[in-house]
Structure 1
Amino acid sequence: MPVAVARPISLTAAERHRSKKAAYGHKTAHQDRVRARIVLHAARGQGNARIARETGVHLDTVRAWRVRFADGGLPALAGRKRSGRPRRFTPIQVAEVKALACQRPAENCTPLSRWSVPELAREVVARRISGPVSVSTVRRWLREDAIEPWQHRSWIFITDPDFRRKAEHVLDLYARTWEGRSLSADEFLISSDEKTSIQARCRCHPTLAPGQARAMRVNHTYGRGGALAYLAAYDVHRAKVFGRTEPRTGIDPIMALVTQVMSQEPYARAKRVFWVVDNGSSHCGKKAADRPTAAFSNAVLVHTPVHASWLNQVEIFFSVVQRKVVSPNDFTDLAQVGDRLRASEDRYNATAQPFQWRFTTSDLDDLLARLDQHTADRQEESSAEPAA
């Protein structure tokens, strides 16, 4: 019987370059890499048996790709399209599942506050939207449109009628301007607030330090050692913090902090020192604004809009304190809490840089325009709904 002879393979310079790039490229798919190596070995005149040994694939595989290349060149090495398994779910069923995920469960008499993927998969079957469907399939469908019904974000309406004006004052101060004029070298900006109810939780067992493949371990059971308030004044442009601890917040603790800062240089002889505060009960209203000015003539109190403490940069510092100093809470008593906070101030002031505040008045106008458009759209939707 005649012996089958392997098809001869010859490569052009361009084909050889592309084959080498596919055979040795780090980002080439494994199947494409094997096929390119088979072609390169065949172009060197090697037999199919030897190529199979060197590439680690079956002899029939080598023979098939050798013939494919001989008949169609490099384009023939690409995988052929296959019909694959028929779809189990129609596009309409997929759309109905996504629509269900975008509804609140309570609207459909389901006693849940939010959908989870397993709950959604069970609900799909219960409503006979489709037959049995796996959790991973539902998750894949939701991921296509970035639908995450198990997540939620809170929001609040703007209730301050002077929101734009108050926010603009604060943002202008961050940009070193006030009423259209640049701040001079002897004018300073202080951002101030209170962090309330910092507890001293004495753990019933010592906290274990982290180790290899082990996170820090903090005992859940603790004894309460009381709570205190941490008041801080943050110099926005100099990145310097002044803090104090008090048993509770109020007018006297706030004035004690103001006195602590305004009694030292460079604030004592400064032209003006602006104090950005929120609308807490201890520094809200005209009397609160007059109180620091009466004690220090160069102090100017500037309030953020109502429900806009995010405009107060000291809140960023408080987030650092919460993450790096207070949590996990493991203190024997309030004295240790106070010592830790004061020591952290010194550590922070030694290396701190001003926060890179990027929210400007232009961003504020864009935000307010989006909120106005959102409100208008909601009102239009409400008016379009038929009366019950």
Structure 2
Amino acid sequence: MPNRVRVLTVSDSDRVELERRARDRGAPARVAERARIVLLSAEGLSGPQIAERLGCSEPTVVKWRGQYAGAGLAGLEDASRPGGPRSVLTDEAVCEILAATVTPPPESLAAQGITHWSSRRLADWLRRAKGIAVSHDSISRLWRRFCLAPHRVEGFKFSTDPQLDAKVKDVVGLYLAPPDNAVVVCVDEKSQCQALERTQPILPMRPGIPERATHDYARHGVTCLFAALEVATGKVTDACYPRHRHQEFLRFLKKVAAAYPGQQLHVVLDNYATHKHPQVKDWLATNPRITLHFTPTGCSWLNLVECFFSVITRQAIRRGSFTSVRELTAAIGAFIDGWNNHPRPFTWTKHADEILASIRRAKTKTNVLTDH
């Protein structure tokens, strides 16, 4: 006769706390694991079932189930451990560690392909090169204390457009003080929208477990999303084409013009070559009610339609599974139809002078860093 599963009894207050621990992404993994063991035990799962679901050993399940049964939440805490007092680094050692941290690894390490420090590598180098005995844990604590993160890297880009100031003032002026009796739209293409089909079904979210999808997928082609965001209302005019040449751009520009018949149109867009093609210029010459305003080179963040692209990518494209380009295009169209039923404009708040001053400050700081 099989053994009966021992079901833990968990009070409502304990359940709330355990669910909080299981969801807390900032907590140590061991804390979340213990909470999930207790919660699954309360649901009636056996030890082997819990171990298989959480990827831990059965003895671990038995231990923490017993700890909770005997002492409640207090039983899930780490027991105090014996050990000597923590060593204290001298001010000189701290200065050496920080100076080494903000300096690229020496040539001997660079020759091995090392691009940045890890706490263990720095501890080893300090011991050998400087005679400083320090643990990698101590280095990690110092990095957290002084907000240093050698493993992280962020990108930056400064526009080299000689007309930077004029273009920023022109575009921001349209956002903050649009012309009377005119419509301002922001236009761009989101190229390479891939129809990716996950090779296995997407697993739904559960308490303590986020939605899960396989890393591998099948490719079924790409499409290019053209979008025109009306700045005042947030309404979007869209089209999907298989390519993004000047022919497709001109076709889309005509669609935007037809959406606003007889109105003055001010179109904000980037410096992509198709936007300046001779055929586009010829068509604009016969449609003087449409005026193009180009953002500075390398300043796509100045185009408000990028905000919409971010939204549709996060909410409709990235986490989807599409068996064909047609299915992807239909999903994009359905999302935009729903968006246009209740459009939400993106509000630009910063003045051009503030933006340009911020750029100048960033350039000055960068020059100081590169000079040293």
TM-score (norm 2): 0.71
Equivalent-residue separation in structure 2 for 1:340 and 1:99 (angstroms): 52
Shift of 1:294: 3.1
Correspondence for 1:112: 114
Equivalent-residue separation in structure 1 for 2:356 and 2:207 (angstroms): 50
1:356 aligns with 2:364: no
Correspondence for 1:268: 261
Match of 1:125 among 124, 127, 136: 127
CA distances 1:50-78 after superposition (whole Å, capped 9, x unpaired): xxxxxxxxxxxxxxxxxxxxxxxxxxxxx
- Is residue 246–residue 280 contact of structure 2 (8 Å, CA) maintained in 1? no
Correspondence for 1:3: none
Correspondence for 1:93: 93
1:344 aligns with 2:335: yes
Equivalent-residue separation in structure 2 for 1:149 and 1:205 (angstroms): 37
1:331 aligns with 2:322: yes
CA distances 1:212-235 after superposition (whole Å, capped 9, x unpaired): 322212122222101111111100
Correspondence for 1:386: none
Please give the secondary structure, in 1, of the residue aligned with 2:96.
Answer: helix
- Is residue 176–residue 349 contact of structure 2 (8 Å, CA) maintained in 1? no
Correspondence for 1:200: 195
- Is residue 271–residue 297 contact of structure 2 (8 Å, CA) maintained in 1? yes
1:280 aligns with 2:281: no
Residues 1:313 and 1:107: Cα distance change in structure 2 (over 3 Å):
farther
Equivalent-residue separation in structure 2 for 1:106 and 1:85 (angstroms): 33
Shift of 1:107: 5.0
Residues 1:296 and 1:129: Cα distance change in structure 2 (over 3 Å):
farther
Equivalent-residue separation in structure 1 for 2:153 and 2:290 (angstroms): 41
TM-score (norm 1): 0.69
The amino acid across from 2:136 in the alignment is: V
1:214 aligns with 2:209: yes
Please give the secondary structure, in 1, of the residue aligned with 2:130.
Answer: coil
Q: Write out aligned runs for 1:116-155 (5 A).
A: 116-131=118-133, 133-155=134-156
Equivalent-residue separation in structure 1 for 2:273 and 2:282 (angstroms): 14
Correspondence for 2:233: 238
1:257 aligns with 2:252: yes
Residues 1:311 and 1:124: Cα distance change in structure 2 (over 3 Å):
same
Shift of 1:203: 1.9
Equivalent-residue separation in structure 1 for 2:120 and 2:337 (angstroms): 50
Correspondence for 2:293: 302
Correspondence for 2:173: 172
Identity rate of aligned residues, in percent?
Answer: 26
The amino acid across from 1:269 in the alignment is: G
The amino acid across from 2:127 in the alignment is: V
Shift of 1:171: 0.5
Shift of 1:315: 0.6
Shift of 1:202: 1.8
Residues 1:219 and 1:269: Cα distance change in structure 2 (over 3 Å):
same
Please give the secondary structure, in 2, of the residue aligned with 1:275.
Answer: strand
Residues 1:171 and 1:215: Cα distance change in structure 2 (over 3 Å):
same
- Is residue 225–residue 333 contact of structure 1 (8 Å, CA) maintained in 2? yes
The amino acid across from 1:176 in the alignment is: A
Correspondence for 2:4: none
Residues 1:289 and 1:227: Cα distance change in structure 2 (over 3 Å):
closer
How large is the RMSD of aligned CA atoms in angstroms?
Answer: 2.3
Equivalent-residue separation in structure 2 for 1:106 and 1:356 (angstroms): 48
Equivalent-residue separation in structure 1 for 2:230 and 2:326 (angstroms): 26
CA distances 1:142-194 after superposition (whole Å, capped 9, x unpaired): 222212211112222331111110111000000124xxxxx11x201010100
If you compute each CA radius of gyration, which structure gives the higher value, 1 or 2?
1
- Is residue 250–residue 282 contact of structure 1 (8 Å, CA) maintained in 2? yes
1:366 aligns with 2:367: no
Please give the secondary structure, in 2, of the residue aligned with 1:210.
Answer: coil
- Is residue 273–residue 299 contact of structure 1 (8 Å, CA) maintained in 2? yes
CA distances 1:82-123 after superposition (whole Å, capped 9, x unpaired): xx9695421111111111110122556443112222332232
Equivalent-residue separation in structure 2 for 1:219 and 1:85 (angstroms): 46
Residues 1:118 and 1:343: Cα distance change in structure 2 (over 3 Å):
same
Residues 1:118 and 1:85: Cα distance change in structure 2 (over 3 Å):
closer
Q: Which runs of 5+ in 2 are unaligned?
A: 1-83
Which stretch shows the higher mean deviation, 233-242 or 345-354? 345-354
Please give the secondary structure, in 2, of the residue aligned with 1:305.
Answer: coil
- Is residue 106–residue 112 contact of structure 1 (8 Å, CA) maintained in 2? no
Residues 1:368 and 1:201: Cα distance change in structure 2 (over 3 Å):
closer
Correspondence for 1:162: 163
Match of 1:293 among 273, 276, 284: 284
Equivalent-residue separation in structure 2 for 1:151 and 1:288 (angstroms): 45
- Is residue 167–residue 295 contact of structure 2 (8 Å, CA) maintained in 1? yes
Shift of 1:292: 4.7
Q: Which has the higher contact order (CA 8 A, sep 6+)?
A: 2
Equivalent-residue separation in structure 2 for 1:293 and 1:360 (angstroms): 29
Equivalent-residue separation in structure 2 for 1:228 and 1:203 (angstroms): 18
Equivalent-residue separation in structure 1 for 2:106 and 2:279 (angstroms): 45
Equivalent-residue separation in structure 1 for 2:353 and 2:169 (angstroms): 10
Shift of 1:306: 0.7
Q: Which runs of 5+ in 1 are unaligned?
A: 1-83, 178-182, 383-388
Please give the secondary structure, in 2, of the residue aligned with 1:127.
Answer: helix
